[in-house]
Structure 1
């Protein structure tokens, strides 16, 4: 290992373990929780007869937040918190360690970066009128091997959904958490984590299937975003009940993210 590489890893460790960086990272977890709370509430409302046409994706949640008093200020804080989580993940990669952990950090950094950019756009009023998922999918399909790229996205989303369900089932999320001094709080956090990971995993899996269908049929309208995934859930027998359950699960995930901001090991 070169001297420059060792120096970079050492600097990354120092920044990552600094008190300031830990505070902003915890704010990032709370920001993620806020987005999932709003998203879950929107999905629950979709499960009622009078709001079935409501958008239920990240942009829908951001629109909901932006429409509230001081909503744009809240989104600016959310964007800053998510950006801090991106930096945190990048420092995790730079400091070295097992390849599996570094790959996991890279994936989470990419997700948080997208959400941070979206939150920042809505904070400054640029979120509305952007290109939708259908238009983006159509553009990608117009390129050589575009269908392969869309199929790969669908496979990635499906795998991510399965992994989320697996993490919820095995409670592997507990590995990154400190136990509370109060056993009842630890039990509540475990329950929130399991329900949240199951619900988010189901939504991601459905979204992955939709992208796969779009790639197979070469029809970008089959892809869409999370709102189409939730609409597909709602179209099933007892769909309204399933939507409400999914929404409650996403609310649980949001609350779990707030618990992470308190109990995650940094």
Structure 2
């Protein structure tokens, strides 16, 4: 057997592995895990809105800490982390072999999948590190990490431009996320034919509302990064927690944060719908 045949055989085996039941289950478990995190962040944000403050961070680190404090918290964190590893591996398979659907092998879609693989790999690492007792590896305050990274970047030559461009990119990503949710672009990724009419309506409610709010939060955080660059003040950049708290400083007071909290929780429910109906 020549080398080309061996290579083709290896690629075929890799593709079969990417389309295997294990990858399918990993992806769906990952959506469940993502839903848990967003639901908890929504709950923590609501606590801030109603209590006027909270000792818990309304971000991924706060959600992880909240889980750790529950009965069998360490077991739950291990389960969550392993599920997120499944999500990362599914995204990796999409980057290597393409997504489900006729245009799934487009280079742009595969590049986005690669970025998501890196992101979910980092999140999985953060959760599993917390489970084994390493609490400073990505599971701490997003506000502190954001300020530290921004301060370091602003100290570089051309740092203001770097931070400003990064902020604009995040704003754009947030608006793109919100637009896709409002336009219901997610329909092409879901097995809508398997849903009842009421299920489709419910999925659209949490998908549109949750996705729009998630995009708005990203866009707001990006706006703070742009402000930090323009004013050359690292403290102007905000992580998830401070971004959410900033919504209480609007004319409507904490009620805007309540709306955002409900939206983030809705996105968590939408993630669970993906766990059941996503085309993998």
TM-score above 0.5, yes or no: yes
What are the within-5 Å matches in structure 2 for residues 1-266 of structure 1?
A: 3=4, 9-51=11-53, 54-96=56-98, 97-128=105-136, 132-179=145-192, 180-266=194-280
**C-alpha deviation, 1:209, in angstroms:** 0.3
Larger mean CA deviation between 237-246 and 8-17 belongs to: 8-17
**C-alpha deviation, 1:50, in angstroms:** 4.1
Distance 1:143 1:6, change over 3 A: farther
Larger mean CA deviation between 177-186 and 45-54 belongs to: 45-54
Over residues 65-113 of structure 1, what are the superposed CA-to-partner deviations in whole Å (9 max), with x where a residue is unaligned? Answer: 1121222221211111111111111111111511121122123223212
Distance (whole Å) between structure 1 residues aligned to residue 120 and residue 160 of structure 2: 26
Distance 1:118 1:54, change over 3 A: same
Distance (whole Å) between structure 2 residues aligned to residue 236 and residue 75 of structure 1: 35
Is the 8 Å Cα contact of residues 26 and 90 (structure 2) preserved in structure 1? Answer: no
Is the 8 Å Cα contact of residues 46 and 52 (structure 1) preserved in structure 2? Answer: yes
**C-alpha deviation, 1:213, in angstroms:** 0.8
Larger mean CA deviation between 71-80 and 53-62 belongs to: 53-62
Distance 1:50 1:224, change over 3 A: closer
Distance (whole Å) between structure 2 residues aligned to residue 144 and residue 47 of structure 1: 40
Larger mean CA deviation between 27-36 and 85-94 belongs to: 85-94
Is the 8 Å Cα contact of residues 26 and 85 (structure 2) preserved in structure 1? Answer: no
Is the 8 Å Cα contact of residues 45 and 51 (structure 1) preserved in structure 2? Answer: yes
2:101 — aligned with what?
Answer: none
Cα RMSD (Å) of the superposition? 2.0
**C-alpha deviation, 1:173, in angstroms:** 0.9
**C-alpha deviation, 1:178, in angstroms:** 0.4
**C-alpha deviation, 1:7, in angstroms:** 5.2
**C-alpha deviation, 1:53, in angstroms:** 6.2
Count residues with an aligned counterpart: 265
Distance (whole Å) between structure 2 residues aligned to residue 217 and residue 75 of structure 1: 40
TM-score, length basis structure 1: 0.92
SS of 1:250's partner is helix
| 5+ residue gaps, structure 1 | none
